[in-house]
Amino acid sequence: MAHTKLTYPYKLPELGFDYAALEPSIDARTMDIHFNKHHGGYVNKLNAALEGRAELQRHDLVTLLGNLDAVPESIRQAVRNNGGGHLNHFLFWQILKPGGASAPQGELRRAIEGKLGSFDAFKEEFSQAAMNRFGSGWAWLVITAAGELKVISTPNQDAPSMTGDVPLLGLDVWEHAYYLHYQNRRDEYVANFWNVVNWDVVGHFFEQHR
Amino acid sequence: MAVELPDLLFASDALEPHISARTLEFHHGKHHKAYVDNANKLIADTRFENMPLENVIRQTAGDEARVGIFNNAAQAWNHAFYWQCLKPGGGGAPTGAIADKIEAEFGGYEQMMDEFKKAGATQFGSGWAWLVLEEGNVLRVHKTANADCPLVYGCKPLLTVDVWEHAYYLDYQNRRPDYLAVFVEKLINWEFVNAEFRQ
Ligand SMILES: [Fe+2]
Ligand SMILES: [Fe+2]
């Protein structure tokens, strides 16, 4: 399992499980709309922004987002929002799993304990990042350019790649990610997220990038 | 003075089918209430405790150390203003002095509303679209992110629409433009807009 290089023309990935597979943590209707309408919308708008821009089309998405200064100003915000939207959701679906492992194993486990104290302390820090993001955005576990594990949060669809961080685990806290099922209760959504994390995939990302 | 949660001026099902009772009950009873409660908690025993809400907003704007107060105080104010912009059987073309002002500055109601709906549709993430009077009595459409509020920029707000997803997700899901169209055509309280304009 590696971080896939995404290139133009961008397209929706295979989800890999049924919309209902993550119930009751994430309901089927939310999955359907989130995947097809929200993620699909980012993909379509990203392709539209890059149409006819051969010099940008040949770069992969992480490279584009890491070098937004090189994107013409007229489409920079569109690439940032929709490119980030595509990359973030592309990762999000991969780290979700029906009946996922309850905890990280091996090297990742040791790294989390070494850096953040314990797995519970990590979960607490990550959950706080998700709760404290005001408005729309994401909570992340990333590896920084210096090779360190870190919990961060980004607004809107800003991607960790924009600042050179490599995301291992992400949680979408836009209201669209939970409103149909949880309404204002983001805290319950965040708590139930831990029931559907695919720690095997997160562990593979860590092996690949540490 | 304590920040207050105003009652809605209409029953929670009065805006159906355009905005559901369920949406209004969460939006007013949970989201708005939480902003009010948090604002009161955060200003307790500070110099902001007895200040008018507008002043709290202006004095905490852009202050990194007081971002929690700003976010909750501004959201308390924004929502109180938003409820007044809504009424059952509202919307459509304006009447009164604001109609003439819109005609004079935008060339017509449709042009102004196209700009207003576009502002709401393109506010990426959470936020608000506004019709405001800028200094010099100039009528303009603005959009703001998250809790941000035109009061901070010396503007007088006349009309707003909440484009946080919680404002429309139960009724419209990802279709924010549909919510904005309905807001404009069916819900705007022009009497309120006119009253604010006359001030
Ligand atoms: Fe999302
Ligand atoms: Fe709201």
Q: Give the integer Cα–Cα distance in Å for B92 and A85.
A: 35
Fold of A106-209: minor pseudopilin epsh fold (3.55.40)
What is the SS3 assignment for B86? strand
Q: Give the integer Cα–Cα distance in Å for B66 and B125.
A: 22
Tokens matching residue A196: 């559907």
Is residue B43 located within the same domain as residue B104?
A: no
Beta carbons of A41 and B127 less than 8 Å apart: no
Distance of alpha carbon B89 from its chain centroid, rounded?
A: 19
Fold of A27-95: Helix Hairpins (1.10.287)
Beta carbons of B31 and A184 less than 8 Å apart: yes
Q: Give the integer Cα–Cα distance in Å for A190 and A132.
A: 12
Distance of alpha carbon B10 from its chain centroid, rounded?
A: 17
**Domain harbouring B166, CATH code:** 3.55.40.20
Q: Give the integer Cα–Cα distance in Å for B183 and B102.
A: 18
- pTM (2 d.p.): 0.96
- B9: in domain: no
CA A39 to centroid of ligand 1, rounded, Å: 7
CA A89 to centroid of ligand 2, rounded, Å: 24
- B27: in domain: yes
Is residue B59 located within the same domain as residue B137?
A: no
Tell me which ligand sits closest to the C-alpha of residue A38: 1
How confident is chain B (199 residues) per 10-residue block, as mean pLDDT?
Answer: 93 98 98 98 96 97 97 98 98 96 97 98 98 96 98 97 98 98 98 96
How confident is chain A (210 residues) per 10-residue block, as mean pLDDT?
Answer: 82 95 97 98 98 96 96 98 98 91 88 94 98 98 94 98 97 98 98 96 92
Pair type for strands A166-172 and A137-143:
antiparallel
**Domain harbouring B25, CATH code:** 1.10.287.990
Contact by Cβ (8 Å): A169, A141: yes
- B11: in domain: no
**Domain extents for chain A?**
27-95, 106-209
- B89: in domain: no
Say what the pLDDT of residue B92 is: 95
Q: Give the integer Cα–Cα distance in Å for B139 and B159.
A: 11
List of chain B residues whose C-beta atoms are within 8 Å of the C-beta of residue A80: none
Give the closest-approach CA distance of B172 to chain A in angstroms. Answer: 11
Is residue B48 located within the same domain as residue B138?
A: no
Closest CA to A96 of A5, A180, A177, A26: A26
Closest CA to B61 of B144, B166, B143, B141: B144
Closest CA to A192 of A37, A27, A38, A35: A27
- B73: in domain: yes
Beta carbons of A134 and B166 less than 8 Å apart: no
List of chain A residues whose C-beta atoms are within 8 Å of the C-beta of residue B170: 179-180, 183
| Neighbour-count burial of A86, counting CB atoms closer than 10 A to its CB (0-12 exposed, 13-18 middle, 19+ buried) | buried
Q: Give the integer Cα–Cα distance in Å for A40 and A35.
A: 6
Pair type for strands A149-155 and A137-143:
antiparallel
ipTM: 0.96
Burial A156-184 (b: 16+ CB within 10 A, else e): bbbbbbbeebbbbbbbbbbbbbbbbbbbb
Q: Give the integer Cα–Cα distance in Å for A88 and A69.
A: 20
Is residue B36 located within the same domain as residue B110?
A: no
Closest CA to B125 of A191, A82, A105: A82
- B5: in domain: no
Beta carbons of A175 and B164 less than 8 Å apart: yes
- B15: in domain: no
Say what the pLDDT of residue B107 is: 97
Is residue B127 located within the same domain as residue B186?
A: yes
Is residue B104 located within the same domain as residue B186?
A: yes
**Amino acid symbol at B122:** T
Is residue B80 located within the same domain as residue B109?
A: no
Using CA coordinates, name the residue in chain A closest to B127.
A135
Is residue B138 located within the same domain as residue B189?
A: yes
Is residue B44 located within the same domain as residue B109?
A: no
Q: Please say which residue of B61, B84, B107 terminates a domain.
A: B84
Say what the pLDDT of residue A1 is: 46
Is residue B154 located within the same domain as residue B77?
A: no
Q: What's the mean per-residue pLDDT of chain B?
A: 97
**Amino acid symbol at A148:** E
Is residue B68 located within the same domain as residue B144?
A: no
Q: Give the integer Cα–Cα distance in Å for A142 and A209.
A: 10
Domain count for chain B, please give it: 2
Domain span at residue B38 reads 21-84
CB contact set of A181 (below 8 Å; sequence gap of 6+): A26, A27, A30, A189
- B14: in domain: no
Is residue B106 located within the same domain as residue B185?
A: yes
Say what the pLDDT of residue A2 is: 54
